[in-house]
Amino acid sequence: MVFAAGCKPTEENDDHDYVDLGLPSGTLWATCNVGANSPEEYGDYFAWGETAPKDDYIWTTYKYCNGGYAKLTKYCNKSDYGNNGFTDNLTTLVPSDDAATANWGSDWCMPSADQWEELRDNTNSVWTTQNGVNGRLFTASNGNSLFLPAAGFRWCDEIRYVGSDCGYLSSSLNTDYPFSAWGFGFGSDYYVVDYIDRDSGLSVRAVRSASQK
């Protein structure tokens, strides 16, 4: 797997906790979602490439299109999906469009699809309830663990599947279908890296590099 270069170190004050799972890449995972104050809180929901929550999550309100999924105005490698044939071949979120970086500072960024795969492949995962909240606990061979709450997702002005299913964003575009991006989804009986529509509102769990301990 090829990992993104990661977040840039900074001298900013940073009070966000993280856990070292002993992963091959050295990636450190935040212990709570962006917009949350504890591991069990759902936090905020973001469309892919947007850095603030909003009321409606639909293509007509999405920042980087002209009203529809086949009229993309940024992060598009195929002219069939670009507005008037637009392409820019950007396949990874730039820092200004990364919800983790924008909200927590440059020590932090959204995980790539490869980093989600690394988490999945190098931990044992169980569906559990923590402080009354359903979610998945990922435990590494070094004994450290990471809890992700089943926060559901936002579509239009609704929040759906809270407590049973959820999706988390990555920083990686799905280059086969650029109206979507890669994310990490799970429920009680599955956990997979899969693609999600860019206009949906999903949770963000931030990462940082080992050099930023």
Instruction: Output the pLDDT for position 1.
Output: 34
Residue 166: name the closest of 180, 181, 151, 156 by CA: 151
Question: Percentage helix, strand, coil, to 5, in the chain?
Answer: 15, 30, 55
Tell me the pLDDT band of 102, cut-offs 50, 70 and 90: very high
Residue 6 has pLDDT above 80, yes or no: no
d(CA 119, CA 124): 9
Residue 72 has pLDDT above 50, yes or no: yes
Mean pLDDT, the chain, as a whole number?
A: 93
Q: What Rg value do the Cα atoms of the chain yield, rounded?
A: 16
pTM for the whole thing? 0.93
> What Å distances lie between residue 34 and 81, 88, 169, 176, 205, CA to CA?
30, 28, 11, 28, 6
Q: What percent of the chain has pLDDT over 70?
A: 92
> What Å distances lie between residue 119 and 84, 88, 148, 204, CA to CA?
38, 30, 12, 15
Tell me the pLDDT band of 14, cut-offs 50, 70 and 90: low
- CA–chain centroid gap for 5, Å, is 16
Residue 41: name the closest of 51, 31, 50 by CA: 31
**What would the mean pLDDT of 17-42 be, rounded to a whole number?**
98
Copy the structure tokens of residue 46: 């973001």
